[in-house]
Amino acid sequence: MDRLRQISQQLVPVQEWPDFKAGDTIKVSYKIKEGSKERTQLYQGTVIQRRGEGTSATFTVRKMASGVGVERVFPISSPFLENIEVLKVGKVRRARIYYLRGLTGKSARIKEKRSFRAAK
């Protein structure tokens, strides 16, 4: 199994992305090909889960669009990922926050992790 993992890492190099986890709000820039044209689509939402490791790792992002929850799964090693930007670091106690699917409005908010900065 280790030999298989080594070969897959050589064939599909994993890019370095910022550290993020479930509960964080991120903005993903995803390249979309439509015929001969290419465009970049932004997808901003809350990370619900991170799954897997190495080249087969994925993460799921959930956002609300017109009052309807939309989830999208992104592979970490996808060549179509252009950029991942962490907007807020959330404070959650679970690795997979599926309970957000049943919540709407203010109850679906996630507390932001406080950062302690040195006083000037």
The alpha carbon of residue 102 and the mean position of all alpha carbons in its chain are separated, in whole angstroms, by 20
**Residue 113 maps to a domain:** no
**Which CATH number fits the domain that encloses residue 76?**
2.30.30.790
* pLDDT value for 105: 82
At 72-103, the pLDDT tens digits run 999 998 889 999 999 999 998 989 999 988 88
Report phi then psi at 98, rounded to 5. -70, -15
What's the domain count of the chain?
1
CA torsion 64-88-96-32 (nearest 10°) is: 60
Q: What percent of the chain has pLDDT over 70?
A: 93
**Residue 93 maps to a domain:** yes
Boundaries of domain holding 94: 2-100
